[in-house]
Amino acid sequence: MRHSVSTVLAFAVALAACGGAGGGNAAPPANAVSANPAAPPPAGPVASTLIDAPRPAEWRLVWHDEFDQVGGSDLPDPSKWDYDTWGNQGGWPNNEQQYYARARRENSRVENGMLVIEARKERLDSAADYGGQAYTSARLVTRGKQDWLYGFVEIRAKLPCGVGTWPAFWTLGSGGKWPDDGEIDIMEHVGRNPGEVSGTIHTLAYNHTNNTQLGASIRRDTVCDSFHRYQLTWTATQIKIGIDDKSYFQFSNPGGADRAKWPFDRPQYLLLNIAMGGMLGGPVGDTALPARMEVDYVRVWQP
């Protein structure tokens, strides 16, 4: 099938019995269908060509969280972030092993001007929705708070490298139907392959369930030691995913008003999380826990 993709980005991954996005053992809310960026695995070919992709100078900042709140709660700003917990009791797709806690400082907090998402080895037996998980973490979402149609999205973050960790920064279509409403994985990293960062898109035509998801990866050996900027440029004609103003994955609108190939003409919301284990994360190395993702800021610009 011919489609418009700049660079060589299409890849197929054999998938057998995946609990993937939209799957799992619990029926999620209609607007929270994907448990984590679709798996396994999101990484495409390592990009050999990088394209300069700085933020367009004329675009304006329309939303941001600098995590610099003073006084009051040290939890993430509730006017900007909610939490996904729907899969805790019945189990998360992709065979993930974490319990996602809501507004629990041990798993998500603002500390020294940073958002910290922390995965821990512990069992929350006392939680009403506890599903027997051996690990806790957090998944923050802007769903119900804010979504966007087109823009330049950037997060500055330092990633965990513990074996079994699976941090991600991504979007889902606000319509709530996966994969019809699309998914954009701006950053994924797994601890068993430290330094390889991936970007992926999923649509009805291009997704892991039919082995046609599209993506690429790039190596940056310092992602767990220092902060990098993970970026999405999204317009009506193209999606570009990059790091530090360099795009390594580009996907162009194939035209023809075919939403199976391009559902990215409607709003998407943001998600931030650390998953544990599962089909992409792999076996968990308990000695690497607790593991932290530190986020300096999240910003969104639009034309």
Residue 34 and residue 268 in contact, taking contact as beta carbons nearer than 8 Å: no
Strands (E) in the chain, as ranges, are: 51-52, 60-65, 82-83, 98-100, 108-111, 114-121, 135-137, 139-141, 151-158, 165-173, 183-188, 196-202, 214-219, 228-234, 238-243, 246-252, 268-276, 291-302
Question: How far from 190 is each of 23, 142, 201, CA to CA, in Å?
Answer: 21, 23, 17
In the set 96, 118, 154, 183, the catalytic residue is: 183
Token pair in block for residue 160 = 């965990």
State the alpha helices, DSSP H only, in the chain: 278-281
Does 154 participate in catalysis according to the annotation?
no
Around 260, how many Cα atoms within 13 Å sit in the side-chain half-sphere? 4
Does 188 participate in catalysis according to the annotation?
yes
In the set 118, 154, 188, 294, the catalytic residue is: 188
Other residues' Cβ atoms within 10 Å of the Cβ of residue 247: 26
Residues carrying an active site annotation: 183, 188
